[in-house]
């Protein structure tokens, strides 16, 4: 029996367990949509294709599954590029299916034709142009395998329109095996034995946990390691939630806007165990002074992450979860004795750093953005799924919403995409209908994808949007204040829509306050409404994110409040 390309695609999607697609129809995918409409796959019609990829990204991070996105050729495809690049930077498994003009028109500058495979080659983990209907089924299957395995990432499949109606038998392999792709999950145990010795000897050890902990679902193993061996833990932006943010061993985030104690601890550490991180420049600051006193262990599934920016003494290529599991077993066998006594001076030093230089801000009679995030943390018991936009809002969210669970923190970490938070919140809410999902936004970034309010309302998704409105592009303004003599060149956003009316225009609810005393009530009220709600807080215009390490400086050189 033969099937059309559209039927074959849907069959593989079902086999891969896809229950939701974020997308936008168009000419080149009209037959795919016709077939999609006959299946029970849930489709979320976004308002812009960029939103579709961010939503698929948010869905993937909240659910731990692969996000799927379907768009048409040409502009539909090019609109996905920012979303794809963001998912690539953050290693998020997303499969993007784009329509293409009919095979015989490819290369003819046809209407809505673009070489999306060429355009996305540097920002996808892999991509395909399907040339023969016989290849379609295995390509789709292979795409899902590649997206989710090893270091995950986005994979794009470009399907010419004629292939969606061409006929072929449905033949898929049970298992995908590629001679040129075989990620290393199992670590070298000898290397891990070295790590055990290092942990036992270390006087000032620190664990540095990144997004790899979340992706490999290694939070439990990480927590066991830290507690069993009394090692304090810091995280990259992507690693937040991988270790309980309320635990006494938690140091807070590391890097440019990291906590004082995290930056000091890493700088003074004699052993740094980095797991699932890539030593981004926002984390390391000046490279040759980063963790200069430490023996560095790095565990990562991607060999290119090792030795890329920072020379490593003990490299371990492998899956974070499996590696930590083995490491924990080895430690049990070794039977650390009196490790807590051994660590006490180090943990005391860290405690003093925390006591003397905590994260802080000065409260006045104007709302401080940090205060809003703190109050949100309280009102939601720290249990909401938090998405963010990019800039100050993102950093305050990272600093003051003490994430304690994996898959609850969804931010565009590597690429830093303004406009990410709302569509990502939509994706997360679709994945977790019973959870409170809050997008912490700025007045600038919310305007980059505010059209997705319509999507949220259409599907009855009760996402909450907290806008910290300072009428500035705050992070750039902060840099201008600190490093450009307060020349606020084009960062004043004097005019924004009336966000209450904007919410109402879309059929959502809008709330606003400018009084610190009302912050909690507005949050409580907004969170209790089972609809899409914007909560706007008029905050101190020139509040800055501290600590701050100037770009290129060592991370011990922090500007403090």
Contacts of 61 (CB under 8 A, 6+ apart): 92, 214, 407, 410, 424, 428
Selected catalytic residue, list 111, 169, 340, 492: 111
Kindly report the three-state secondary structure assignment for every residue of 326-376. Answer: HHHHHHHHHCCCCHHHHHHHHHHHHHHHHHHCCCCCCCCCCECHHHHHHHH
Q: Which is nearer to other proteins, 305 or 380 (CB)?
A: 305
118 binds other proteins (CB under 8 A): yes
For residue 149, the minimal CB distance to other proteins (Å) is 11
Q: Among 560, 556, 558, which Cα is nearest to 292's?
A: 556
For residue 304, the minimal CB distance to other proteins (Å) is 4
For residue 558, the minimal CB distance to other proteins (Å) is 29
Site for other proteins in 126-145 (CB under 8 A): 126, 129
Number of residues that bind other proteins (CB under 8 A): 17
For residue 89, the minimal CB distance to other proteins (Å) is 14
Cα–Cα distance for residue pair 540/225, rounded to 1 Å: 41
Q: Which is nearer to other proteins, 143 or 251 (CB)?
A: 143
117 binds other proteins (CB under 8 A): yes
- Structure tokens given for 267: 């700088």
**How many C-beta neighbours within 10 Å does residue 259 have?**
23
For residue 327, the minimal CB distance to other proteins (Å) is 23
Q: Which is nearer to other proteins, 279 or 537 (CB)?
A: 279
Cα atoms in the 13 Å half-sphere on the side-chain side of 27: 10
- Residue from 38, 121, 203, 501 touching other proteins (CB under 8 A): that is 121
Selected catalytic residue, list 10, 256, 264, 475: 475
Contacts of 28 (CB under 8 A, 6+ apart): 72, 73, 74, 76, 98, 99, 100, 101, 112, 160, 161
For residue 417, the minimal CB distance to other proteins (Å) is 19
Site for other proteins in 306-365 (CB under 8 A): 307-308
304 binds other proteins (CB under 8 A): yes
For residue 121, the minimal CB distance to other proteins (Å) is 5
Selected catalytic residue, list 16, 35, 49, 389: 49
Backbone φ and ψ for 442, nearest 5 degrees, come out as -105, 170
Q: Which is nearer to other proteins, 30 or 287 (CB)?
A: 287
Instruction: Give the binding range for other proteins (CB under 8 A) out of 33-41, 105-113, 124-132, 331-339.
Output: 124-132
Sheet order of strands, 409-410 included: 409-410, 385-388, 437-442, 464-469, 533-538, 509-513
Catalytic residue check, 253: no
Instruction: Give the binding range for other proteins (CB under 8 A) out of 209-217, 262-270, 304-312, 495-503.
Output: 304-312
Torsion sign across C-alpha atoms 490, 491, 492, 496: positive
Q: Among 479, 260, 510, 523, which Cα is nearest to 367's?
A: 523
Q: Which is nearer to other proteins, 121 or 201 (CB)?
A: 121
Q: Which is nearer to other proteins, 75 or 303 (CB)?
A: 303
Cis amide bond preceding 547, omega within 30: yes
Contacts of 190 (CB under 8 A, 6+ apart): none
Instruction: Give the binding range for other proteins (CB under 8 A) out of 54-62, 176-184, 201-209, 439-447.
Output: 176-184
Buried b (16+ CB within 10 A) or exposed e, 198-219: bbeebebbbbbbbbbbbbbebb
CB 206 within 8 A of CB 272: yes
Helix (H, G, I), strand (E, B) or coil at 60: helix
Environment class of residue 6 by beta-carbon count within 10 Å: exposed (0-12), middle (13-18) or buried (19+)? Answer: buried
Catalytic residue check, 475: yes
Catalytic residue check, 112: yes
For residue 123, the minimal CB distance to other proteins (Å) is 10
Q: Which is nearer to other proteins, 50 or 149 (CB)?
A: 149
For residue 73, the minimal CB distance to other proteins (Å) is 18
Tell me the CA end-to-end span of the chain in Å, nearest whole number.
Answer: 70
Selected catalytic residue, list 11, 65, 112, 435: 112
For residue 4, the minimal CB distance to other proteins (Å) is 25
- Residue from 122, 246, 288, 517 touching other proteins (CB under 8 A): that is 122
Q: Which is nearer to other proteins, 312 or 390 (CB)?
A: 312
- Residue from 75, 303, 460, 507 touching other proteins (CB under 8 A): that is 303
Cα–Cα distance for residue pair 424/561, rounded to 1 Å: 32
CB 253 within 8 A of CB 236: yes
Environment class of residue 292 by beta-carbon count within 10 Å: exposed (0-12), middle (13-18) or buried (19+)? Answer: middle
Catalytic residue check, 22: no
Q: Which is nearer to other proteins, 187 or 258 (CB)?
A: 187
Selected catalytic residue, list 22, 50, 142, 161: 161
Torsion from C-alpha of 60, 89, 241, 354, nearest 10 degrees? -170
Q: Which is nearer to other proteins, 73 or 544 (CB)?
A: 73
281 binds other proteins (CB under 8 A): no
178 binds other proteins (CB under 8 A): yes
Catalytic residues: 49, 111-112, 161, 475
- Per CB under 8 A, residues contacting other proteins are 117-118, 121-122, 125-126, 129, 146, 178-181, 302-304, 307-308
């Amino acid at each position: 029996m033969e099937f059309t390309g559209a039927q074959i695609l849907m069959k593989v999607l079902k086999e891969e367990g896809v229950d939701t697609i974020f997308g936008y129809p168009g000419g080149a995918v009209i037959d795919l949509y016709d077939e999609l409409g006959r299946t029970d796959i849930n489709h979320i019609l976004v308002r812009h294709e960029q939103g579709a990829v961010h939503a698929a990204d948010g869905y993937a991070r909240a659910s731990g599954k692969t996000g799927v996105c379907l768009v048409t050729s040409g502009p539909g495809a090019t609109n996905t590029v920012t979303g794809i690049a963001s998912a690539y930077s953050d290693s998020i498994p997303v499969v993007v299916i784009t329509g293409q003009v009919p095979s015989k028109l490819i290369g003819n500058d046809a209407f809505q034709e673009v070489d999306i495979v060429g355009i996305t080659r540097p920002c996808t983990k892999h991509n395909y142009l399907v040339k023969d209907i016989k290849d379609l089924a295995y390509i789709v299957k292979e795409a899902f395998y590649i997206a989710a395995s090893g270091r995950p990432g986005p994979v794009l499949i470009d399907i010419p329109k004629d292939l969606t109606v061409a006929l072929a038998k449905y033949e898929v392999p049970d298992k995908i095996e590629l001679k040129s792709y075989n990620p290393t999950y199992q670590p070298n145990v000898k290397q891990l034995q070295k790590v055990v010795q290092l942990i036992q000897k270390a006087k000032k050890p620190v664990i540095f946990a990144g997004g790899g902990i979340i992706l490999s679902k290694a939070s439990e193993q990480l927590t066991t390691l830290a507690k069993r061996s009394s090692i304090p833990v810091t995280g990259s932006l992507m690693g937040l939630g991988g270790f309980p943010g309320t635990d006494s061993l938690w140091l807070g985030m590391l890097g440019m806007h990291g906590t004082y104690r995290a930056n000091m601890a890493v700088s003074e550490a004699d052993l740094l165990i980095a797991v699932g991180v890539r030593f981004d420049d926002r984390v390391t600051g000046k490279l040759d002074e980063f963790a200069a006193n430490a023996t560095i262990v790095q565990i990562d599934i991607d060999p290119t992450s090792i030795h890329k920016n920072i020379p490593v003494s003990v490299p371990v290529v492998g899956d974070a979860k499996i590696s930590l599991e083995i490491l924990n077993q080895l430690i049990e066998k070794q039977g650390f004795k009196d490790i807590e006594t051994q660590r006490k001076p180090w943990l005391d030093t860290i405690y003093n750093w925390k006591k003397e230089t905590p994260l802080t801000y000065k409260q006045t009679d104007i709302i401080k953005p940090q205060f809003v995030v703190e109050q949100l943390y309280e009102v939601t018991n720290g249990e909401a799924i938090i998405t963010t936009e990019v800039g100050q809002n993102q950093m305050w969210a990272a600093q003051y919403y003490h994430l304690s669970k994996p898959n609850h923190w969804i931010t565009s970490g590597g690429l830093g995409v303004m406009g990410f938070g709302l569509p990502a919140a939509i994706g997360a809410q679709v994945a977790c209908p019973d959870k409170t999902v809050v997008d912490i936004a700025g007045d600038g970034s919310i305007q980059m994808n505010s059209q997705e309010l319509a999507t949220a309302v259409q599907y009855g998704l009760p996402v909450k949007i907290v806008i910290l409105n300072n009428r500035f592009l705050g992070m750039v303004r902060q840099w201008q204040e600190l490093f450009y003599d307060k020349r606020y060149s084009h960062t004043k956003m004097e005019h924004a829509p009336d966000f209450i009316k904007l919410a109402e225009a879309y059929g959502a609810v809008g709330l606003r306050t400018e009084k610190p005393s009302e912050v909690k009530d507005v949050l409580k009220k907004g969170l209790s409404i089972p609809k899409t709600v914007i909560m706007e807080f008029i905050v101190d215009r020139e509040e800055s994110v501290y600590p701050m390490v100037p770009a290129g400086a060592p991370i011990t050189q922090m500007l403090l409040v």
